[in-house]
Structure 1
């Protein structure tokens, strides 16, 4: 372990020393031999990074033709992208868990760097792993970084495969599903197999998800909204066999937020009638909801129904103050979609699901109860909250 830590420290020092002008300004190597941030720096969220702009990168300007397996892989000419998995699971005794495994890619420059060294690479990968243990009211997190050099991190373009060291999401077949997720931290681990139950969903306008009226403030975005999941979770050396459902998102962009926007509330909900809802509520710096907020309902037969800002009402019913950051987050919501005759209350499985990593944000498992078409409906999902600093 000491050798691994030393190698990581050397690698991160090389990143900082070789390309200081290309590293995001809020990433640094600190003297306590850990890759971390000051309190002020850590409180910068993903919205800060996504609002930065560089005209030399490719931009999401219009709908495109998606091509697989190529679009499972990395799009290095865009500044930012992520491979995102969340899920709600339980063991045979009904003990509930939530998990998140997300791989992020950040381009440090618009053009690849030519070098004889396999270590020198202009793509930086970051991964987040979390586990929510509802019974014990515990939230576990871990984070990793690496350049893509020397195969330490990357994404394949001939099948679904993304990795950072020994954390990975890898297709077991020739192209896509089933997907095998594996990630291990000192205290906890996941080993899960995901199979799709519904068709791929192109979010927004045929996969172009606009975040503001400014050209290029958009992402290419697709989802698998219901993935049958089975496998094991390990906490403190104790292994739990689990089953449940996961959600997968893929996005890539260069600049997806405008300067007037401060962050977002993102909802990914799976209902008991085999339908799903994704909605991102963009928040403006003046405290108002941005008119570019949008999402979709995916019906039981996989039909997508687009949602615009005026189609969805979200009311905050409660708040929670983080003991770690002193940030106040919404902690209960009432979401209504009149066109779908849907009204549900959304409640976190536990309040403390804040990631205190390089970018501070709240991402947690939630439960759902309410009505749809005059009948009771329940469900589960994940909510992400950014920009509440």
Structure 2
């Protein structure tokens, strides 16, 4: 779902690396776009023949598939979560690692610095009580072990930011990251099974063959550890969500952005839905998602199954972009009607590529009874 953002992040990173290492590349296709509307043009170029494509369902193999898939152009490891300290103080966090391949083939070189893989990472903490949003960003090439993954265990890192299993099994998983004013040190344990999104893990983004990703999630990860803000350390507990995707092909030229919902309900069910928005203002027919039941079984959702109404908006004082800030989400087939509300409005990341991603609360009715929940929402392509 996040191909556009990763390409633009990679573009900025490439410019930095050219200056820093003074190596010669040919990047004529990677000139930063002047505005959001040109993202689709960059992503629809045909200079990707040597990359692998997500064309049909595949057999997943773990722990190998937790590691990098370098033959695909883009890849990401996405962690988000809602946490509380013992006194009920609320926090949200995001820790995300991105991989981007300059070329499909690794260039021959004796230098440990020269390779075709670049990594980027975003780290945020939402302090609800103080109405403050902390962000940080890092990037590096994989050379000299500065960033990378393992195919023998769940492990991805960029400098000292990392997500790494504590033993030979996938979980417990430890997340560590430290920014200028804030840090996390968290232990995640899988409360529910892994879920293959889309068609047995193949998530189609448009009608064109290959415009798809391989996508799986851990929708409910029991989380405990600490959050540091300034000189204050908070012991916290709660739940996290992990998304994994890799792909090569772009979204279509007609798609302007997306609204991505990852919601965890108090009845131990979850909802993932991405609403692709078209440039003509309509919802794209390839919008998709799933309901994950308490027993980890999945119900696939199509565009027509989910109705989303924007109830309010928020204008960023930083970028002046206008984002939705409250939604009514309805799934008639699941007897579900809920309102989704940001814990604070200002959860906009002003990094290499501007977007909104933040912690939300959920309240509504399911099967005629009150239900509550929490989650994360990501918004891209808003101006």
TM-score of the two chains, using structure 1 as the length reference: 0.91
**Offset from partner CA, 1:310-331 (integer Å, 9 cap, x none):** 0000000000011111111001
1:162 equivalent among 136, 156, 160: 156
Give the distance between the partners of 2:130 and 2:271, measured in 1 at CA. Answer: 29
Give the distance between the partners of 2:37 and 2:141, measured in 1 at CA. Answer: 22
Give the distance between the partners of 2:245 and 2:22, measured in 1 at CA. Answer: 27
Residue 210 of structure 2 corresponds to residue 221 of structure 1? no
**Offset from partner CA, 1:253-308 (integer Å, 9 cap, x none):** 01241111111100000001000000000011111000000000000111100000
2:147 is aligned to 153
User: Residues 346 and 64 from structure 1, CA distance in 2 versus in 1: closer, same or farther, beyond 3 angstroms?
Assistant: same
Determine if contact 2:41/2:253 at 8 Å carries over to the other structure: no
Determine if contact 1:50/1:80 at 8 Å carries over to the other structure: no
Residue 301 of structure 2 corresponds to residue 295 of structure 1? no
5 Å matches for 1:72-91? 72-91=66-85
1:185 is aligned to 179
Q: How far does residue 139 in structure 1 lie from its aligned partner after superposition?
A: 0.3
1:120 equivalent among 107, 111, 114: 114
User: Residues 46 and 238 from structure 1, CA distance in 2 versus in 1: closer, same or farther, beyond 3 angstroms?
Assistant: farther
Residue 124 of structure 2 corresponds to residue 109 of structure 1? no
Determine if contact 1:263/1:388 at 8 Å carries over to the other structure: yes
User: Residues 185 and 377 from structure 1, CA distance in 2 versus in 1: closer, same or farther, beyond 3 angstroms?
Assistant: same
1:5 is aligned to none
User: Residues 128 and 206 from structure 1, CA distance in 2 versus in 1: closer, same or farther, beyond 3 angstroms?
Assistant: same
User: Residues 382 and 236 from structure 1, CA distance in 2 versus in 1: closer, same or farther, beyond 3 angstroms?
Assistant: same
User: Residues 336 and 165 from structure 1, CA distance in 2 versus in 1: closer, same or farther, beyond 3 angstroms?
Assistant: same
2:31 is aligned to 25
Q: How far does residue 94 in structure 1 lie from its aligned partner after superposition?
A: 0.4
Q: How far does residue 121 in structure 1 lie from its aligned partner after superposition?
A: 1.1
Give the distance between the partners of 1:47 and 1:56, measured in 2 at CA. Answer: 20
Q: How far does residue 57 in structure 1 lie from its aligned partner after superposition?
A: 1.0
**Offset from partner CA, 1:120-168 (integer Å, 9 cap, x none):** 1110100000000000000000000100111000011111000000000
Residue 300 of structure 2 corresponds to residue 306 of structure 1? yes
Comparing 337-346 with 16-25, which one deviates more in the overlay? 16-25
1:364 equivalent among 358, 362, 380: 358
1:271 equivalent among 265, 288, 301: 265
Residue 205 of structure 2 corresponds to residue 205 of structure 1? no
Query: Aligned with 1:290: secondary structure?
Result: coil
5 Å matches for 1:60-71? 60-71=54-65
TM-score of the two chains, using structure 2 as the length reference: 0.93
**Offset from partner CA, 1:344-365 (integer Å, 9 cap, x none):** 0000000000000001110000
RMSD of aligned residue pairs (Cα, Å): 1.9
**Offset from partner CA, 1:39-78 (integer Å, 9 cap, x none):** x56x689877655552221110000000011100000010
Determine if contact 2:37/2:256 at 8 Å carries over to the other structure: no
Give the distance between the partners of 2:155 and 2:57, measured in 1 at CA. Answer: 25
2:19 is aligned to 13
Give the distance between the partners of 1:284 and 1:366, measured in 2 at CA. Answer: 24
Give the distance between the partners of 2:37 and 2:184, measured in 1 at CA. Answer: 28
2:49 equivalent among 52, 55, 66: 55
Aligned length: 369
2:229 is aligned to 235
Runs ≥4 residues deviating over 4 A: 9-12, 43-53
Q: How far does residue 194 in structure 1 lie from its aligned partner after superposition?
A: 0.2
Determine if contact 2:29/2:42 at 8 Å carries over to the other structure: no
Q: How far does residue 175 in structure 1 lie from its aligned partner after superposition?
A: 3.2
